[in-house]
Amino acid sequence: MSRSTKEGTELSVLFLDVDYFKLYNQRHGHSAGDRALRSVARVIGSCVRRIDMVGRYGGEEFVVVLPECGAQVALEVAERIRRGVELAEEPVDGRRLTVSIGVATYPSDARSKEDLLDRADWSMYRAKAGGRNRVVAFAPEQLGGP
């Protein structure tokens, strides 16, 4: 963020959560769950640039940091990831693996690192509340409640 501030560029964050992952793990076991997470990670890696940063945030959550990237391009990257995950694996029990993704951009959506992550996370929860397997960009009106 300090580099973005110095250079006057935007920085976007994607917060991803694998939909129904706990249920997936219960039905198919932790080994299958680990393979599914590696598959999601491969898809994410194939959709981002070399300067972007990808990390597992915890459990079935991932964060993608997109330096020098505005909201519109971040939404396009998020949608490529969402589609890629959905198509990466054969359906299990008639269901495909899917992700819900929240997007937030500095400086338009947040002024601090904590707020940027919180707003991307909040938007991801909005994606889940909206039916899962979707991308939601942060909007200030979201702060009113899920």
CATH at 28: 3.30.70.270
Give dist(CA 29, CA 19) in Å, integer: 16
| Domain presence at residue 75 | yes
| Domain presence at residue 34 | yes
Give dist(CA 66, CA 11) in Å, integer: 6
* pLDDT tier, 95 (very low <50, low <70, confident <90, very high otherwise): confident
The one catalytic residue among 60, 61, 68, 79:
60
Mean pLDDT in residue range 112-116: 96
| Domain presence at residue 100 | yes
Say whether pLDDT at 141 is over 80: no
Closest CA to 57 of 11, 14, 107: 14
> Containing domain of residue 108, as a range?
2-137
Q: Hey, what long-range contacts does 52-57 have (CB within 8 A, 24 or more apart)?
A: 57/15
Structural domains in the chain (count): 1
* pLDDT tier, 144 (very low <50, low <70, confident <90, very high otherwise): low
Residue 60 appears among annotated catalytic residues = yes
What share of the chain has pLDDT > 70, as a percent? 97
| Domain presence at residue 143 | no
pLDDT of res. 145: 53
pTM above 0.85, yes or no: yes
For the chain, how far is it from start to end, CA to CA, in angstroms? 27
| Domain presence at residue 142 | no
Closest CA to 36 of 49, 20, 50, 48: 20
| Domain presence at residue 146 | no
* pLDDT tier, 142 (very low <50, low <70, confident <90, very high otherwise): low
For 39-93, what is each residue's pLDDT tens digit? 999 999 999 999 999 999 999 999 999 999 999 999 999 999 999 999 997 777 7
